């Protein structure tokens, strides 16, 4: 069974990661999809995206939900009918879902040197403590990207800038947690992020402070 990892972030926030290894036809046959989901997956041009979409539904099943329990708002943010909070992500051959009693976001990203090409789009305040000559630079850039993307999924407000409005405080790799701020006008919002690496991927889960 390709359930790769289960993680309890806190008493109300639970994460499951799926290793996407099943053939597309086998995934479709194992799931009872509602009409909208079936149309959506069939319209996808990439088989990898199709399999990621379906493995998210496999993860829902592991949480005790079905595809019928999941819906999306007009901005594309996922919700559960029982009012628990959910965030989903998939990248290459991994998919992940987090379910919580409070707002939450999750993101997975493959660690690649290509992140250097987009660093200027999301690195602002963090440039004060990042060392471009460090052998951990790519790793830290990837974690910061995941942290900010997971916060964006939690906050879900259009027009927000990962570079200007989101601040990731300095962190040490061994600790695996950091604080992240949203600065928007006079608003100052504080969140906590857990981040880790597995099989060449970075993962971050951002939650509201307990």
Domains and CATH numbers, the chain: 3-101 (3.90.470.20), 107-208 (3.90.470.20)
The predicted pLDDT at position 174 comes to: 77
Mean pLDDT of 44-48: 94
What gap in Å lies between CA 89 and CA 69, rounded to an integer? Answer: 17
What gap in Å lies between CA 38 and CA 203, rounded to an integer? Answer: 28
The predicted pLDDT at position 209 comes to: 63
Contact (Cβ atoms closer than 8 angstroms) between residue 85 and residue 104: yes
pLDDT tens across 122-164, in order?
999 999 999 999 999 999 999 999 999 999 999 988 889 999 9
DSSP-H helix ranges across 44-96 = 47-63
| pLDDT tier for residue 88 given thresholds of 50, 70 and 90 | very high
Query: What is the helix (H) or strand (E) element at residue 177, kind and residue range?
Result: strand 177-184
The overall average pLDDT reported for the chain is 94
| pLDDT tier for residue 175 given thresholds of 50, 70 and 90 | confident
Sheet strands (E) in 73-172:
78-80, 85-91, 94-100, 104-110, 166-168
Token pair recorded at residue 36: 């909208």
| pLDDT tier for residue 185 given thresholds of 50, 70 and 90 | confident
What gap in Å lies between CA 104 and CA 201, rounded to an integer? Answer: 20
| pLDDT tier for residue 2 given thresholds of 50, 70 and 90 | confident
The predicted pLDDT at position 13 comes to: 96
């Amino acid at each position: 069974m390709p359930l790769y990892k289960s993680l309890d972030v806190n008493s109300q926030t639970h994460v499951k990661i799926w290793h996407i290894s099943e053939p597309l036809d086998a995934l479709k046959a194992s799931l009872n999809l509602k009409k909208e989901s079936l149309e959506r997956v069939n319209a996808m041009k990439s088989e990898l995206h199709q399999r990621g979409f379906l493995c998210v539904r496999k993860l829902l099943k592991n949480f005790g939900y079905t595809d019928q329990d999941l819906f999306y708002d007009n901005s594309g943010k996922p919700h559960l009918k029982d009012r628990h909070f959910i965030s989903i992500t998939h990248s290459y051959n991994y998919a992940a879902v987090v379910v919580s009693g409070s707002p939450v976001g999750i993101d997975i990203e493959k660690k690649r040197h290509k992140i250097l090409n987009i660093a200027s789009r999301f690195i602002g305040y963090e440039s004060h403590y990042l060392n471009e000559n460090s052998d951990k630079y790519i790793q830290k850039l990837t974690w910061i990207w995941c942290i900010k993307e997971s916060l964006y999924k939690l906050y879900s407000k259009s027009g927000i800038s990962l570079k200007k409005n989101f601040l990731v405080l300095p962190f040490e790799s061994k600790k695996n947690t950091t604080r992240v701020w949203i600065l928007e006008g006079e608003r100052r919002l504080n969140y906590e992020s857990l981040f880790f690496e597995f099989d060449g991927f970075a993962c971050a889960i951002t939650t509201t402070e307990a």
